[in-house]
Amino acid sequence: MDLYHNIYDDGFEDQRDPEYEILMENAQVQDFSDMNLPNYTAQAVEDMLSVERDYIDTKDLCLKILAELKGHNIPQELFATRIISRSQGTLSDLLGKPKPWEMLRAGRNTFKRMYNWMVQPYETRMAILFGDPVGTVAVSTPSPRNKRNKRQSSSPGDSAPKKPRLVFTETQKNALVKVFKETERPSSKMQKVIADHLHLDVSTVNNFFMNARRRRHRAARTSEEQDQEQYFQ
DNA sequence: TGAAAGTCAATAAC
DNA sequence: GTTATTGACTTTCA
């Protein structure tokens, strides 16, 4: 499917304008300090990004955002923090494997912000990304969640030492995958047996199956879509 | 209350 | 240096 199909009637700016063409040719351009970008207040930015939307073609949007970031050499880290108030890893995951709008719940908000950024004129998009908004936002909508701040703050200086991230050994991983192929939803009893056998916490085993189910279904959906696209070509 | 959804953030991969 | 992956935490929902 064409990346920019329906570009003229879906609310997105016409990206074939001369300015866009020049920028795409000079993808190295990254210094916006001398561009005289408009300076919005934090509240104005928030108002722009939080406009309600009834429906968003998430897949199409993500392709456009990816092209925009790549075309202008905008780091994901910057976009993630400035536009959606999320981490780089989360953004990468969302852009690479977007869930369809109808399957989203609270997560719609994140796509809504990406969409609302994308429909702005070029100068506004860059001003939001690189600008230094004045003032504060009256209602703190998308800020990182309270308890998450707690999680983030458990860094140097904190009394509780950070738990190192577990990486499954090859044996553990192989065994877990093997069981998963046979049963995606093992009973608590079975999970306990697996945990004991692999010298893992039951919660770790439970997390593995939870993540595996979610990620497998997402992968299945993606390949289904690809099949459909090939069929309709 | 348990499962699903949303996400963080370390770190693997490029 | 940047992006993708992924185990685990937090929030939402039935």
CATH number at residue A98: 1.10.260.40
Give the CA-to-C1' distance from A21 to C3 in angstroms.
Answer: 25
At A226 the pLDDT is 73
Domain membership flag for residue A85: yes
Q: Are residues A118 and A185 in the same domain?
A: no
| Structural domain count of chain A | 2
Strand B CB shell (< 7 Å): A 85-90, 93-94, 99, 103-110, 144, 148, 151-152, 155, 162, 164-165, 167, 185, 188, 206, 210-211, 213-214
Q: Where are the alpha helices (DSSP H) in chain A?
A: 18-25, 42-49, 58-71, 76-79, 88-96, 108-118, 122-130, 146-152, 170-182, 188-198, 202-232
Cα–Cα distance measured from residue A152 to residue A44, given in angstroms and rounded to the nearest whole number: 28
Q: Which nucleotides of C are covered by protein (CB under 7 A)?
A: 1-13
Domain membership flag for residue A161: no
Q: Which residue's CA shows the smallest distance to C1' of B12?
A: A167
Beta-carbon count within 10 A of A156 CB: 6
Domain membership flag for residue A1: no
Q: Which nucleotides of B are covered by protein (CB under 7 A)?
A: 3-12
Domain membership flag for residue A6: no
* Residues 12-71 of A with CB within 7 A of strand C: 69-70
Domain membership flag for residue A194: yes
* Residues 89-118 of A with CB within 7 A of strand C: 89-90, 92-93, 95-97, 105-106
Amino acid at A20: Y
Domain membership flag for residue A112: yes
Return the structure tokens found at A100: 């369809």
Q: Are residues A91 and A35 in the same domain?
A: yes
Q: Are residues A99 and A40 in the same domain?
A: yes
Q: Domain holding A192: CATH number?
A: 1.10.10.60
Q: Are residues A132 and A193 in the same domain?
A: no
Give the CA-to-C1' distance from A19 to B4 in angstroms.
Answer: 44
Domain containing A221 equals: 170-232
* Span A111-160, pLDDT tens digits: 999 999 999 999 999 999 999 888 888 765 454 444 444 454 444 454 56
Domain membership flag for residue A3: no
Q: Are residues A50 and A130 in the same domain?
A: yes
Residue spans of chain A under pLDDT 50 = 1-9, 14-29, 141, 143-150, 152-156, 158
Cα–Cα distance measured from residue A48 to residue A116, given in angstroms and rounded to the nearest whole number: 7
At A191 the pLDDT is 96
Cα–Cα distance measured from residue A174 to residue A132, given in angstroms and rounded to the nearest whole number: 49
**Domain limit, last residue, from A129, A144, A159:** A144
Q: Are residues A87 and A194 in the same domain?
A: no
Q: Are residues A111 and A219 in the same domain?
A: no
At A223 the pLDDT is 74
Q: Are residues A31 and A72 in the same domain?
A: yes
Amino acid at A197: H
CB burial of residue A232 (10 Å; 0-12, 13-18, 19+): exposed
Domain membership flag for residue A155: no
